[in-house]
Amino acid sequence: MNVPLFFSVVGSVSSESELVYILKRATPEAKIIIFLLLIFSIVAWYKMIFKIIQMSRAKKLNQFFTEEFKNQKGVLDLYDRRIQAEGCPLFAVYQTGSVELDARLKGAAGEARKKHISLKSMEHVKRLIENTVAQESLKLESGLIWLAAAVSGGPFLGLLGTVWGVMDTFSGIARTGSATMAAMAPGVSAALVTTVAGLLLAIPAMFGYNALVHTLRTLTVELDNYAQELVSKMETEYLKDE
């Protein structure tokens, strides 16, 4: 090994930041990949923070709405009070079912509510409630695909930059015929930094994605259970025995 040359490289690294030193010696392809990983990281963090806030708010609103719903005497009492709870998945399900049930009870002419509705009308109300449950679940799930893409694609994109950089380094050594540590170290380290960037993108996204998926499953189960409870109360109170 050329010892003086090796120490000159070490001295140059110590005189400036290691990351800056490596990035300066990265190939254009590696810089492009690092830039793409940075953009993906910003998007992934934005989506993750947004979904955390959205789901946390939905959980709190669901708790408040559940307490109000259990305290009401009639299934349409909350609807008659014109209560609004934007961003609450359970309220969206309740509002859809209540609007349709109220319309079926009043009829096309809009007269006073009847005491009962037919089984066919109740089935229609039930289908609308199930449709709203599906829509609310999709709203909560939207955006998670970005985190899944970051988890699965980030390391591979970083690995692509590493392989490309190592290949470029060895081809340069083959052209110059110099296989010293000083010739290899800058190129290899610059190539490896893309793998580090890919892992820095994927690791936080993986933890965030797993936590959000667990919360999503909990909220989806709550929606399904509440929809069944709502339909049951509507049938008990308004379904005509045939």
When divided into structural domains, the chain yields a total of 1
Question: Would you say residue 116 lies in a domain?
Answer: yes
pLDDT attached to residue 232 = 93
Q: Could you list the residue range(s) of the whole structural domain that residue 210 is in?
A: 27-63+74-238
pLDDT tens digits, 162-192:
888 777 777 777 676 666 666 566 667 777 8
Looking at residues 193-215, what average pLDDT do you find? 91
Put simply, whether the predicted model's pTM sits higher than 0.85 gets the answer no
Give the residue with greater pLDDT, 59 vs 110. Answer: 59
Distance CA 78, CA 85 (A): 11
Distance CA 8, CA 11 (A): 5
How big is the CA angle at 89 (ends 84 and 94), to the nearest 5 degrees? 60
Find out whether 212 and 144 touch, Cβ atoms under 8 Å.
yes
Question: Would you say residue 186 lies in a domain?
Answer: yes
Question: Would you say residue 173 lies in a domain?
Answer: yes
Question: Would you say residue 16 lies in a domain?
Answer: no
Question: Would you say residue 18 lies in a domain?
Answer: no
